[in-house]
Amino acid sequence: MTPVSGATREVRNEQERDLAFLDSAYTVPDAEIANLHEHGWARLPGLLNAEVVAELRRRLADEPLRPLDALGKSYRKLGGNTAADTDSEPVKFLDHELDSKHNQNHEGMAWRNPFFRRVGTSRRVAGAAVQLMRRDRAVFIQDISFFKPGGGGSPTAMHQDYASWPFDRKGAITIWIALVDVSEDMGPLAYLEDSHREGPLGLAGKLDIRSTYPHLADAKVVAGRALKAGDAQVHWDLTVHGAGPNATDVVREAYLTRFTGAT
Amino acid sequence: MIYNGIGHPHYDTLGLQIGQALGENAAFPLVGHDGEIARDEEGEPCT
């Protein structure tokens, strides 16, 4: 066994102390839980502290980016398509995926790296998820980053997540955690209030879903405000959401965890 | 929540069977108010 130096042990102890924050409870205010159920979104200020955020950023820097066409290629596998088919025409309603200025993603880290699993299943994060869902148990189903590039990052058109996922029903939530301070000109996440009551509206790609469903133009746009690193926002799979362009030179970094009911 | 088989770069990798409930697949951690809930060898929550 390789001996561990005092300095190394001290660094490890320091990291453990920092990450022990993940074992602390986050009490979601009743008003935020009610807002999620009644209006489709919620705020979780200060969900993570600076140490956990810094470690997430450091670990993400070592993770591979998801290929831009990954979602479209997965779609084209349907029906036993050949390899040639999967490399052919992009899926029209996933055109946003191919825009490198739109978002860059890391995905599924918690399924290959124990640190990310610790974050996603922590009392801090998972405990907040079950409170929000008004459940005693849930299932941690996905983690993914959304990095909107600086220097002209493209806007994210208003859309629902549900249409991109392989599930038979609604009911999943996303906890969107800012990893940097996000100003209003960096593309913070905004929602169409009460849109989680709309039912599934289909894939939208770069098309703002309000152009297909004009009545949504009357929906109030909420959130979209500045966030501090470690602050989070939450939405349902049917909540229509999007983001403005990133007009700054700073990458808008976010780490997302997703949960659904266990039954 | 049941997996319906539509292609997805994350869910394609986790051994899901079409028609399987996500909560029944041990690839997905069960969580509660205090964090992860351990599963037994058959994938059932240890209580």
Listed by start position, the domains of chain A span: 25-67+101-261
Q: ipTM score here?
A: 0.94
In tens digits, what is the pLDDT along chain B, a chain of 47 residues? 999 998 899 999 999 999 999 999 999 999 999 999 998 877 777 76
C-alpha–C-alpha distance, residues A46 and A130, integer Å: 17
Among B9, B10, B33, select the one facing A130 at the smallest CB separation. B33
Largest CA distance in chain B: 34
C-alpha–C-alpha distance, residues A39 and A191, integer Å: 10
Q: Is the pLDDT of residue A91 over 80?
A: no
The pTM assigned to this predicted structure is: 0.91
Among A76, A126, A141, select the one facing B22 at the smallest CB separation. A141
- Strands (DSSP E) along A167-210, which ranges? 173-178, 189-192
Q: Is the pLDDT of residue A186 over 80?
A: yes
What distance in Å separates residue B25's CA from the closest CA in chain A?
A: 10
Read off the pLDDT of each residue in A38-46 and give the average, rounded to a whole number.
98
Residue A83 buriedness (CB in 10 A; 0-12 / 13-18 / 19+): exposed
C-alpha–C-alpha distance, residues A73 and A69, integer Å: 6
Whether A70 sits inside 8 A of B31 (CB atoms) is no
Q: Is the pLDDT of residue A36 over 60?
A: yes
Average pLDDT score over chain A: 90
Lowest mean pLDDT among A137-146, A155-164, A179-188, A201-210: A201-210
Residues of A within 8 A of B7 (CB-CB) are: 73-78, 166
A151 φ, ψ (degrees, to nearest 5):
70, 35
- Write the class of the CATH domain A25-67+101-261: mainly beta
